[in-house]
Structure 1
Amino acid sequence: MLFDTHVHLNVQQFDEDRDEVMDRAREAGVEKMVVVGFDRETIPKALSLAEKHDHIYAAVGWHPVDAIDMTEQDLDWIEELANHPKVVAIGEMGLDYHWDKSPKDVQKSVFRQQIALAKRVNLPIIIHNREATEDIVEILKEENAAETGGIMHCYNDSAEYIQDCLDMNFYISLGGPVTFKNATLPKEVAKVVPLDRLLIETDCPFLAPHPNRGKRNEPAYVKLVAEKIAELRDITYEEVARATTENAIKLFRI
């Protein structure tokens, strides 16, 4: 049994074959997944998928790239949706310094607002981080995000920050990059994260693992992530599958 903790089956890349994609995921052993909504268009679609399928859950939040577009009404809407029985997390949220659509100060403000929201509704948070690790860790500490805990989604930074994240009740989630031949950081992380704090994901349709790199990613490929982690840790695939699934069920309180 596999649990893909971060998928975007709610985007247009899956409009033509979404059912077939879900069938392939089941055939690969993916029995649960979380569809992440991150703006006004994708949040309702995430909820719709979760309502239609017993094995699918939803996360709702606002992506940092689009932080400048978020209104008070959007924040109120997310807080209201947090009461939905299939919503298991708030996010993805965080900081993205690669793109410059939203100024850093706006991103930080929206990030802090969503952490506060998650604390009010008592749900874990999903962190999006691109080129902003130091600021993210600082904000998580300042906002006492340890109260919620959550996921460092698709972690792709130095192992030196891992202990800070673990101390704040965060799990470390690895995706396709751990399989890339030239990606040393996620491989190092895969070896040192305690097995009881490790999660796996695809972030599909993005970041497809080797040998599908450059193609559309899909939940079935999370098996490749688990297999690579097992190889790097010198343990069995079954151990990785069991541990990461148990971790996700515990975190999301499923």
Structure 2
Amino acid sequence: MFVDSHCHLDRLELDKLGLTLPQVIAQAKANQVQHMLCVCVSLAEFEQMAQSVASFSNVSISCGEHPLHQQDNVDVALLLEKCSLQQVVAVGETGLDYFYAPEAKLNQQAAFVSHIQVANQVKKPLIIHTRDARSDTLALMRSHQAENCGGVLHCFTESIEMAKAALDLGFYISISGIMTFRNAAELRDVVKKLPLDRLLIETDSPYLAPVPFRGKTNQPAYVTAVADAIAEVKGISVDKLAEVTTANFYNLFSHIKKTN
């Protein structure tokens, strides 16, 4: 059985898929995807997101504000309130993105620090997005004791050096369909070097559909294609990859009850 450790079910363009949300969940289950973590990108959208997946026992949720979706200042009191809810299993998506919004560095950094502090307070793991911000991401993680709450660098596309630094802080590394892309040879080399016991798989759907689904709207059922690609690179069976990454998922997101 597989898990999709990072997806955005509330952002699926269901008309493009020609499916309802229950059908998307059913297709994932039919493709042996046991559990999905629906990740919040905006506090303003949290309630709607949570409500949209509340009826699915095999979908968990996070709460946070993506660096590209945040307002000038994150409402820290509201973030703490929502992240304290029992059904919220992680804090984020948070982090730094200097590729798309370098002009917002200071606001992003302040928001990231707030998320780390809230995660430490509620004792739930962080879900971190980082792009073109390697040194600042690691510096803020270290200076604000992110190792106390742990978490994951999701949709990882950075260097092996950054991965090792995150691993040293007790973090996991999650790999998306990007590694199946033709121009992702460097990422595949990184994946080959990552320890299995710190590896997660994800779709980041509806974005970044893996080969052979490139150009289509991504969905959790496609996480198996990510698993296939990782297993090939690491020279292990897909069954072994599924077993280990699923165990890693439940170890990290310990507030989640296992589903069949």
Structure 1 distance, partners of 2:74, 2:140, is 21
- Whether 1:58 and 2:61 are equivalent positions in the alignment is yes
Aligned to 1:19: 22
Structure 1 distance, partners of 2:44, 2:22, is 20
The alignment covers a number of residue pairs equal to: 252
193-202 vs 63-72, greater mean Cα deviation: 63-72
The question of whether the paired residues in 2 share the 8 Å contact of 1:37 and 1:45 is answered with: no
Higher relative contact order (CA 8 A, sep 6+): 2
Structure 1 distance, partners of 2:212, 2:218, is 11
Aligned to 1:118: 119
**Which residue of 25, 28, 41 maps to 1:38?**
41
Q: Considering only aligned residues, what root-mean-square deviation do their CA atoms show, in Å?
A: 1.6
User: Which amino acid letter does the alignment assign opposite residue 14 of structure 1?
Assistant: L
C-alpha spacing 1:91/1:192, structure 2 compared with 1 (3 Å): same
| Aligned-partner SS, 1:37 | coil
- Whether 1:80 and 2:72 are equivalent positions in the alignment is no
The question of whether the paired residues in 2 share the 8 Å contact of 1:34 and 1:59 is answered with: yes
Aligned to 2:5: 5
Aligned to 1:188: 189
| CA drift at 1:24 | 1.0
Q: Which runs of 5+ in 1 are unaligned?
A: none
Deviations 1:59-100, CA, capped at 9 Å, x for gaps: 10011013344443xx22221122322211000000111223
% identity of equivalent residues: 37
Structure 2 distance, partners of 1:129, 1:182, is 19
TM-score (norm 2): 0.92
- The equivalences for 1:103-182 within 5 A come to 103-182=104-183
User: Which amino acid letter does the alignment assign opposite residue 2 of structure 2?
Assistant: L
Structure 1 distance, partners of 2:43, 2:73, is 9
Structure 2 distance, partners of 1:211, 1:121, is 40
Q: Which runs of 5+ in 2 are unaligned?
A: none
TM-score (norm 1): 0.94
Aligned to 2:253: 252
Structure 2 distance, partners of 1:37, 1:169, is 23
